[in-house]
Amino acid sequence: MDAGMKIKAAAIDLFARDGYAATSIRDLARAVNMTNAGIYHHVTSKEALLADLMRVGQLGLIDATDRLLAHRPAPADRLAVLIGSLTAIHALNPMTTRVMDGELRSLTPGSSARDEIIALRDRYEDRWRTTLAEGADQGDFRIPDQRLTRLALMAMCTGTSEWYRPDGDASLERVCAEFVAIGLASVRSRVQVSMRLDLSLLPDYPWEPHVDPRVDPAGRHPIR
């Protein structure tokens, strides 16, 4: 692995565990066995590093989602894909997604980097918005409050990054299926859907450790 990627891998790990603000360049340097100053040969600034990770993260999410949505016109199908993929991506990339979901506030307000990430996030959320709207318009869904439904379902999916363990009882497939069922139920979908998610289409974040987030072995809520 080249130095730049090693830095990103360490950064994702530290940012996800301790938070961006609580992670110092020194911590990062120590984690990759480098000098404080050495980091700056591969990284413009601490904030640019965070922005890079978030940008690539969001782009990967959008690309994967669009690939998976292709040729699926039915709203119920599309909603199933949105739920399943968002859940799987969070389960498989807990570090990256925690940073993506939780560190937007660490980007300087007004900076172009922040505006860019917000725009990407909005672009992603549009897939949800339009899917719910079309489902409602076409009579496939019955949704009293679309915003509420969207946010609650997304929270359920993204929450996965906080607790999912590949070595736990539930297979990822089952978790996704369960969440899809819940989602379709909560929009009173007329049709049921049996989704099969092609995991190979999910984004691959090269810095993601593919190691589970630390979880209390007693099975309690993860300590974070």
Partner DNA sequence: CATGAATGAGACTTCATTCAT
Partner DNA sequence: TATGAATGAAGTCTCATTCAT
The reply on whether position 186 binds its own copies by CB under 8 A is yes
The two structure tokens encoding residue 42: 């591969």
Residues 11-40 within binding reach of DNA (CB under 7 A): 23-27, 34-38, 40
Q: Which of 3, 5, 48, 170 binds its own copies (CB under 8 A)?
A: 170
- Quick check: 161 and 206 in contact, CB under 8 A? no
Which CB atom, from 156 or from 201, has the smaller least distance to its own copies? 156
123: nearest Cα among 30, 58, 178, 71: 58
Instruction: Measure Cα distances from 36 to 8, 24, 170, 203 in Å.
Output: 15, 10, 42, 31
1 contact, one of DNA, its own copies, none, CB 5-8 Å limit per kind: none
Count of residues engaged in binding DNA, rule: CB under 7 A: 18
23: nearest Cα among 57, 51, 46, 5: 46
Write the binding mask 130 to 149 for its own copies: x where contact by CB under 8 A, - elsewhere.
Answer: --------------xx-xx-
The reply on whether position 47 binds DNA by CB under 7 A is yes
Which CB atom, from 5 or from 129, has the smaller least distance to its own copies? 129
Which CB atom, from 19 or from 201, has the smaller least distance to its own copies? 19
Write the binding mask 195 to 224 for its own copies: x where contact by CB under 8 A, - elsewhere.
Answer: ------------------------xxx-xx
Q: How far is the CB of 33 from DNA (least distance, A)?
A: 7
Residue 14 carries which DSSP code? H
Stretch that binds its own copies, among 54-62, 63-71, 98-106, 192-200 (CB under 8 A): 98-106
Cβ density class 24-56: b for 16+ within 10 Å, e for less: ebeebbebbebeeeebeebbeebbebbbbbbeb
Question: Residues with Cβ < 8 Å from 212, sequence gap 6 or more?
Answer: 94, 164, 165, 166, 167
Question: Residues with Cβ < 8 Å from 69, sequence gap 6 or more?
Answer: 78, 81, 82, 127
**Contact set with its own copies (CB under 8 A):** 17-19, 21-22, 102, 104-106, 118, 121-122, 125, 144-145, 147-148, 151-152, 154-156, 158-160, 162-163, 168-170, 174-175, 178-179, 181-182, 185-186, 219-221, 223-224
**Contact set with DNA (CB under 7 A):** 2-3, 23-27, 34-38, 40-42, 45-47
